[in-house]
Structure 1
Amino acid sequence: MHSYLKAVGFSKIKKREELKEILLDVIRNYDEKIAVEDHEDGVFVEFSKNYGYDCGITVCGQYDENDRFHVEYYFPFFRGTGITTQEQVTVERHTDKESFAGACDDLRIGITLIFYLQNGTEYMLENQKGRISIQSLTLSGLAGEGRILLPVLKDKEAVKVEKETSNNRNHLIAAARNGDEEAMESLTMEDMDTYSMISHRIVNEDILSIVDSYFMPYGIQCDQYSILGEILDFHFFRNEMSGEELLCMTLESNNMQFDVCINKADLLGEPAIGRRFRGNIWLQGQLHF
């Protein structure tokens, strides 16, 4: 049973038979079907069905010589909106199944983002053509749990200074990657100043009043992250089959915007624009070719 099924509104599934009925519904009443006919082991097919606002389940498998479909794996998905980044993306196949992971170095985050590729079959078709041209990437997340936090009090001048500081840091990181020693030294001094400031303020303040947002790896799985970000927009909707209420949020974390979906039952607090969301997500990505 996939641990993030509850994030798309299937939290009450407890038995294998219940899951099989849903997977059969996806295969029979799919919204989207993509087939790779020249696959080495036969015809590889991906079925996807939406059960709410751009969220649902994808079932992948192969047809045998008797034209019978065999399910290999499935995963819940939530497709985000907009373009998250246009940085270079590297894609690699998972060892155990015909699925893919993507990696992207975004200067705003400061780490290599690793995500589960939603449109892996489309990538396979592009790869067969012998030339892959990735234009952009849309990231999204399924949250297993989360809570709403109040925003950090800032005036307009502080927000302006923070944006300028972030832009300058991104330029320094880019220069450091190219071997600029002065940029490396500036980044080191900046990190030391930040550590000194936090050490001084943490005595009398809560850490979440000092740290406005963060995006960092969570657990031992490489595509799961713990995030804290400002809510830019949100809306509630229901899973068409189960009736469970879900929440879609557009967040900004470390100056990067992306969408997150969570089951309302797993959310503590009342969302509002300007407030912050803190939770653990399974990061997914959709490539645009």
Structure 2
Amino acid sequence: MEQYLSAVGFKKLEETKQMKDVIQQIINDPTEKYISNYGEDKIKVELLKEYSDELGIIVRGELDEKEELKVFSIIPYKKGNLTMDIDEVDVIYSNNSKDDYYVYFEDIKTGNPITFFLQNVVDYLDIDEDEDAYVENIRLIALSNEGTVIFPINKDEVDKNLEQEEEQWRANLLELAREGDEEAIQLLEIDAEQSAELFKVRTKHEDLLTILEGYFIPYGLNDAEYSILGTIEDFCVETNALTKEEVYIMDVMCLNFKLQVCINKKDLIGIPSIGMRYKGICYVQGHVEFS
């Protein structure tokens, strides 16, 4: 996760000793502080420090017997603004020294499985095991340290209308398939086979980026790392108050769901604009609103 510090405006400091001073500053003067009495002898701590309205760093650790903080991980973060309505999620503990938690869910519209790094771990740990926890929504963020702005696929109004009809047809079938409708399951399988065959034929004569408008593909060995291609629907620039580095925050539509991508201005090839596409490698994290 530390390799994505550049995405929140710490490109110059991520590989220097100055980062230790930043961590100590967060411990001494956090913007927000969360504590959970997890277990009888463990006190989990999350310290958040904001360096702009939306960007910051989380220091996550545990208090020892002397009430000194043992730091597990340093997490760059952005506060998510785009919500997704999800009925159910699975929270998975990554059994490592950093005490990380990941969230798995299936996107309702596309049926795609998505895994992301959980930002608000203390909220999750505070849920009583004997109580039912409901998920109101999730907010996804994608941190990137390499990306490119590329041209969109040329489509007219007829193409757009047909695409919307196909997406709605597929979403309706997915809903029926979840309820156990055998005919819907068979139609989805046939559609997947036909799409794969058409894709195979087109790749012989066309470039991949002219065929696929967007994709969201697992990348590498990390559960929450993805290769992303999507359409930029909005964007803004945030400035890190400490380093003065500028960060692009882009609302990207990818496979019929939207997430926000954060990338250091110096790590992005090209200038974002509405309608263009973003292509890059991202680490996906998110906030789950439990109730």
TM-score by length of structure 1 reads 0.93
Maintained 8 Å contact 2:46/2:61: yes
Q: Which amino acid aligns with 1:4?
A: Y
Q: Which amino acid aligns with 1:8?
A: V
Query: How far 1:15 moved relative to its partner?
Result: 5.1
Mapped to 2, the partners of 1:199 and 1:46 lie a distance apart of 48
Mapped to 2, the partners of 1:5 and 1:81 lie a distance apart of 20
SS of equivalent to 1:179: coil
Note closer, same or farther for the CA distance 1:196–1:60 as it changes in structure 2 (3 Å cut): closer
Query: How far 1:211 moved relative to its partner?
Result: 0.7
Query: How far 1:39 moved relative to its partner?
Result: 3.7
Partner of 1:195: 196
Partner of 2:104: 103
Partner of 1:221: 222
Mapped to 1, the partners of 2:161 and 2:25 lie a distance apart of 50
Maintained 8 Å contact 2:251/2:260: yes
* Equivalent runs, 1:16-31 vs 2, <5 Å: 17-31=17-31
Note closer, same or farther for the CA distance 1:185–1:38 as it changes in structure 2 (3 Å cut): closer
* Equivalent runs, 1:35-54 vs 2, <5 Å: 35-37=35-37, 39-54=39-54
Query: How far 1:199 moved relative to its partner?
Result: 3.3
The yes-or-no answer on 1:267 pairing with 2:264 is no
After superposition, what is the alpha-carbon deviation per residue over 1:222-243, rounded to whole angstroms, capped at 9, x for unaligned? 1111111110100112111111
The yes-or-no answer on 1:181 pairing with 2:186 is no
Mapped to 1, the partners of 2:110 and 2:240 lie a distance apart of 32
Maintained 8 Å contact 1:225/1:281: yes
Partner of 2:73: 73
Query: How far 1:275 moved relative to its partner?
Result: 0.4
Provide structure 1 residue ranges, at least 5 long, that are not aligned to the other structure.
none
SS of equivalent to 1:270: coil
The yes-or-no answer on 1:82 pairing with 2:88 is no
Number of residues paired by the alignment?
289
After superposition, what is the alpha-carbon deviation per residue over 1:64-91, rounded to whole angstroms, capped at 9, x for unaligned? 3333222222211122212123231111
After superposition, what is the alpha-carbon deviation per residue over 1:163-189, rounded to whole angstroms, capped at 9, x for unaligned? 111121122223334433322221222
